[in-house]
């Protein structure tokens, strides 16, 4: 079983890289990629554990990019984590995260929720803050019923505590991934609320930059979604990726080891 999309507590996952790999192993995963948001700091620990357990490990990352007015996630698979270009680009992304987190904290404080930022920071420990940490804090403090409520009420685009970031451009992110020896994949292509036309434009721009794959299976897709993505792979000559996007038992109900197979006409990217 293969899983090419997962998160550790180096971004917004709950498990340490080592525990994540152990969990994946228990779930029967034979080939695993760790793909934390805008960081590769957990990769070595995960790789060491995977090799101890005799698993195949793929160094990965999930880069946030700005494309037109949208934030898109690009997964890099098989990257070289000692690549200076990649390291520098991710450092810039993380600095922007830090600044955004402070601004989100201020916005929440203006709403009278000044305890959220300190708790989010505590929950993140050494990791840079993601909106997931804010959602966790909002739920723990009783300001939101659950994750989805925390995003809907405060954190989503258009809501009061949403703070915009100009992430790396799509083209730069794809080029950085490729230069470091990796392959670029559009993560969860149906989760961006793009019209069919816009999604096709995204794919065209992505391919022009050198991107090769789209994530056909992300957590538990519907039959309809699988069919749509399979068609895009065929029509645009794209390779396919699959992953649980596991974040930890406490974050959502996604488990590892239960992924749907890639549809017949899809070719696995790695």
Which residues sit at the interface with ligand AMP, rule CB under 6 A? 12, 37, 64, 130-132, 147-148, 151, 247
Cβ proximity to ligand AMP, 89 vs 233, nearer residue: 89
Interacting residues with Mn ion between 185 and 214 (CB under 5 A): 187
Distance CA 99, CA 188 (A): 26
Closest distance to Mn ion from the beta carbon of 112 (Å): 27
Closest distance to ligand AMP from the beta carbon of 217 (Å): 17
Closest distance to ligand AMP from the beta carbon of 236 (Å): 25
Cβ proximity to ligand AMP, 187 vs 233, nearer residue: 187
In sequence order, the β-bridge partners of residue 72 are 65
Closest distance to Mn ion from the beta carbon of 49 (Å): 20
- Which pair of structure tokens corresponds to residue 251? 């974050």
| C-beta nearest to ligand AMP: residue | 130
DSSP string across 120-185: HHHHHTTSPP-HHHHHHHHHHTTSSSSHHHHIIIIISTTSTT------EEHHHHHHHHHHTT-EEE
Which of Mn ion, ligand AMP, none binds 187 (CB below 5-8 Å, type-dependent)? Answer: Mn ion
Other Cβ atoms within 10 Å of 26 Cβ, number: 11
Q: Does 12 bind Mn ion (CB under 5 A)?
A: yes
Which of Mn ion, ligand AMP, none binds 212 (CB below 5-8 Å, type-dependent)? Answer: none
């Amino acid at each position: 079983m293969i899983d090419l999309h997962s998160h550790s507590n180096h971004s917004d996952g709950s498990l340490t890289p080592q525990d994540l790999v152990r969990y994946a192993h228990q779930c029967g995963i034979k080939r695993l990629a760790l793909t934390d948001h805008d960081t590769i700091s957990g990769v070595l620990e995960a790789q060491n554990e995977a090799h101890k357990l005799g698993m195949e490990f793929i160094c990965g990352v999930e880069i946030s990019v700005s494309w037109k007015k949208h934030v898109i996630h690009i997964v890099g698979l098989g990257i070289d984590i000692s690549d200076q270009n990649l390291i520098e680009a991710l450092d810039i992304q993380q600095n922007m995260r830090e600044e955004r987190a402070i601004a989100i904290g201020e916005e929440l404080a203006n709403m009278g929720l000044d305890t959220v930022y300190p708790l989010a920071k505590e929950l993140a420990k050494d990791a840079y803050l993601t909106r997931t940490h804010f959602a966790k804090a909002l739920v723990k403090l009783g300001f939101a019923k659950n994750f989805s409520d925390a995003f809907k009420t405060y954190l989503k685009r258009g809501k009061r505590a949403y703070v915009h970031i100009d992430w790396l451009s799509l083209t730069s992110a794809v080029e950085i991934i490729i230069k470091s020896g990796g392959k670029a994949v559009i993560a969860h292509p149906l989760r961006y609320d793009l019209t069919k036309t816009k999604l096709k434009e995204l794919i065209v721009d992505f391919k022009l930059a050198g991107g090769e794959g789209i994530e056909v299976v992300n957590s538990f897709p519907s039959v309809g979604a699988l069919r749509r993505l399979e068609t895009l792979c065929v029509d645009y000559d794209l390779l396919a990726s699959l992953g649980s996007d596991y974040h930890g038992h406490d974050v959502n109900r996604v488990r590892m080891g239960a992924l749907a197979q890639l549809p017949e006409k899809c070719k696995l990217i790695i």
